[in-house]
Amino acid sequence: MTRALPAADGRTILIADDHPLFRQALKLAVARAAPDAVVIEAGQLGEAAAAARGAARLDLILLDLRMPGSEGLAGVALLHAERPDTPIVVISSADEAATAPRVRAYGAVGFVSKTADLATLEAAVARALAGERDAPGEALPSDDVSKRVASLTPTELKVLLGVIAGRLNKQVAFDLGISEGTVKGHMTAILRKLGVQNRTQAVLAARAMDVDFAD
């Protein structure tokens, strides 16, 4: 369940991480970088997406990749689709060298390792709020696929996540509270945007969202 802390200046920051202790660390970093900001907390990707969609104002999203309901980089893609103008900083245990360029392909402005100290987290928050982005780095071979996945709407991404999980159309429809016909319509749009012919090819294309995590 999402929770918000009252504040004065109107800025709002969403912290999406399923570990309460790490959320506390991120709140401390936010308090130091933006002491008057409202903080919204979410422990699951679905909660984070709902909070992003419902917030009247959202200035920054701090996102863990490894959350319930998430699949690799799907969380970045989904939250960027919900709030394309809101900067996202990924804070994750995934390998930084391999993952940082990839999260940028899905709309994130920065990446910070979960092993970073509080000063580094604070600096990352301050940079993102100031409109700064990490250096772009080298283009990736999967950039074209990443852009295609990132072009999906929030609902299309949710349908694709259901397909990746092996859910049937009627099961995805039940999960999302929409009709099976609507799911089929979204699948048609997904196949077209990804440039593939069937569900199997869509799943293979979506594997561009996979991420390797450190133990």
Q: Binning pLDDT at 50, 70 and 90, where does residue 209 land? A: low
Q: What is the pLDDT of residue 208?
A: 67
CATH number of the domain encompassing residue 61: 3.40.50.2300
Provide the pairing of β-strand 38-42 with 3-5.
antiparallel
Query: Is the same domain home to 125 and 157?
Result: no
Task: Tell me whether residue 43 is in a domain.
Answer: yes
CATH number of the domain encompassing residue 189: 1.10.10.10
Higher pLDDT, 146 or 151: 151
Which residues, in sequence order, are bridge partners of residue 171? none
Task: Tell me whether residue 157 is in a domain.
Answer: yes
Task: Tell me whether residue 137 is in a domain.
Answer: no
End position of a domain, from candidates 99, 129, 159: 129
Residue 23's domain comprises 3-129
The mean predicted confidence, pLDDT, of the chain is 85
Query: Is the same domain home to 83 and 26?
Result: yes
Q: What is the pLDDT of residues 105-139, one digit of tens each?
A: 888 999 999 999 999 999 999 999 999 887 665 54
Q: What is the pLDDT of residues 30-86, one digit of tens each?
A: 999 999 999 999 999 989 999 999 999 999 999 998 888 777 788 888 899 899 999
Query: Is the same domain home to 117 and 184?
Result: no
| Edge-first strand listing for the sheet containing 88-92 | 3-5, 38-42, 12-16, 60-63, 88-92, 110-113
Query: Is the same domain home to 125 and 156?
Result: no
Residue 9: pLDDT above 60?
A: no
Q: What is the pLDDT of residue 133?
A: 87
Residue in the structure block whose two tokens are 């009709």: 179
Q: Are 189 and 156 in contact (CB under 8 A)?
A: yes
End position of a domain, from candidates 74, 95, 129: 129
The region of weakest confidence among 88-97, 173-182, 204-213 is 204-213
